[in-house]
Amino acid sequence: MEPFPLIEFKNVTKRFDGRTVLDNVNLRIYEGQITTIIGLSGAGKSVLLKHIIGLIQPDEGTVCLRGKPLSGVRKKEIADTVKQMSYMFQGNALFDSMTVYENIALPLQETTDLSREEIDRRVRTRIEQTELGDSADKFPSELSGGMQKRAALARALVTDPRIVLFDEPTSGQDPVRKNAILSMIAQYQRRFGFTAILVSHEIPDVYFISNRILALYDRTIVFQGAPEDLEKFDHPFMDEVIHSLEGLQEELTGLHSRRQFKVLYQSQMKRKALDQFYVLVVFTLEGLDAIASGMGHEAAQEAIRCMGLAIEKHFGPIGGVSTRLGINEFITMLPYSDMAEAEAILNNFAADIQREDIVNILNGARRRGGEGQCVEIGIKAGLAQGRPTVEVGPVMNAAVEQQKEIARLRCIPDW
């Protein structure tokens, strides 16, 4: 039986100046999950999100929270309902005349009767959790884009909401930062247990953190379900939106998208006998921060691209399925190898990468970021064995724990 939805849209229609933005939208969002609303820019995703928090009222239809309609009830009831929600704006909407600390403290100061000490304790806790300790007394304009996002997230979480709405949390960020922000949302969602509703067009990155996808296309929701099910969805939305956006992502690494990786992983697991093994290899490119800060983000992206090409070159021909796991992490699944064989393949890879590929990675970064810069980079790799009956998470963690350095290179300034 399907669980009871936390939020439900029933035939919601919204028009602005006679132009229909949402047309007969029906959707369901479930508690404790990360739900992502995807669609192209200007499709009405933010309008949809603003209906949930009550910033916009529908012209027709109903928005229900735990089965109760948000419209047509008393103002106090709406306020009590909305009390459980926080909203993180696309542009963060931090108060630019207040420090980070004051921004985070504001909702507690204005909406609760907590003592000054208690407010201070709660704000300091959130500041620590979002790693903003050194920036508490800075103004938003003095922070980087990523730090501003963290400050906005800390403010959204300080009232312990049950539902957090994120309006394009990665907009305007480079690919490295995008991954960092999405990882941060997933990490905090697990830690605090809130229901997260994201609006994004960062396809396929959002699949990896989402439990459920809602596809907004042509003013209505055309798909709602798990990210894996989207692969089987036969609709013009797939060609016009998903594949075009995925193409952009694959250009960077040359690897499979995360969604493709997930689908391939699942199909491989279905084909395998329950006692058969597979091997996961997790790679980490060290020194990416130094490249980004010393040579710029374009250089960092080029280093990521070169690393992806090197992995695909070695593991692709032998049936390896690879994708990017985090900012500087990659994962390869070797579905047909056992541990001994995988170790031998990895040793060959290590020899090749130390001899040739690591130089290509650093040269690629230097070409984009300036010849005069000198940084040190390293590559770590770790293996772990899994079976179809075992969850992939622990296998990945085991591979990360097994990581050891397989290559290192320090450039010479006049190189």
Partner 1 sequence: MRRLLMLFTEPFAFLGRGTIQYVGSMGASAIFLVLALLKAFRKKQLPKIVQQLYYIGARSTLIILLVGLFTGMVLGLQSYHALVQFGAQGALGTLVALSLVRELGPVLTAIMITARAGSATTAEIGSLRISEQIDALDTMRVDPLRYLISPRITASIISFPLLTAVFDIIGILGGYISGVLLLGANAGTYLYRVQASVEMKDITDGFIKAIVFAVIVSTVCCFEGYFTHMRTDSHGAKAVGLSTTSAVVLSCVLILIADYVVTSILI
Residues making contact with partner 1 (CB under 8 A): 53, 55, 79, 82-83, 85-87, 89, 91, 93-96, 106-107, 109-111, 155, 159
200/332 with CB nearer partner 1: 200
Q: State the nearest-atom distance from the C-beta of 89 to partner 1, in Å.
A: 5
State whether residue 131 is helix, strand or coil.
Answer: coil
11/109 with CB nearer partner 1: 109
CA angle 96, 162, 72 (to 5 degrees): 90
Q: State the nearest-atom distance from the C-beta of 147 to partner 1, in Å.
A: 17
151/333 with CB nearer partner 1: 151
Q: State the nearest-atom distance from the C-beta of 74 to partner 1, in Å.
A: 15
Confirm if 34 and 198 have CB atoms less than 8 A apart.
yes
Confirm if 406 and 351 have CB atoms less than 8 A apart.
no
Rounded to whole angstroms, the Cα distance separating 284 from 379 reads 6
Q: Which residues of 113-150 are buried (b: 16+ CB within 10 A; e: fewer)?
A: eeeeeebeebbeebbebbebeebbeebbeebeebbbbb
37/282 with CB nearer partner 1: 37
Rounded to whole angstroms, the Cα distance separating 235 from 309 reads 32
CB within 8 Å of 357: residues ≥ 6 apart: 306, 307, 310, 313, 407
56/306 with CB nearer partner 1: 56
Q: State the nearest-atom distance from the C-beta of 75 to partner 1, in Å.
A: 11
Q: CA of 322: how far to CAs of 32, 185, 250, 329, 400, in Å?
A: 29, 24, 12, 11, 15
Q: State the nearest-atom distance from the C-beta of 82 to partner 1, in Å.
A: 7
55/226 with CB nearer partner 1: 55
**Lookup result for tokens 């797939």:** 238
Cβ count near 306 (within 10 Å): 23
Q: State the nearest-atom distance from the C-beta of 124 to partner 1, in Å.
A: 19
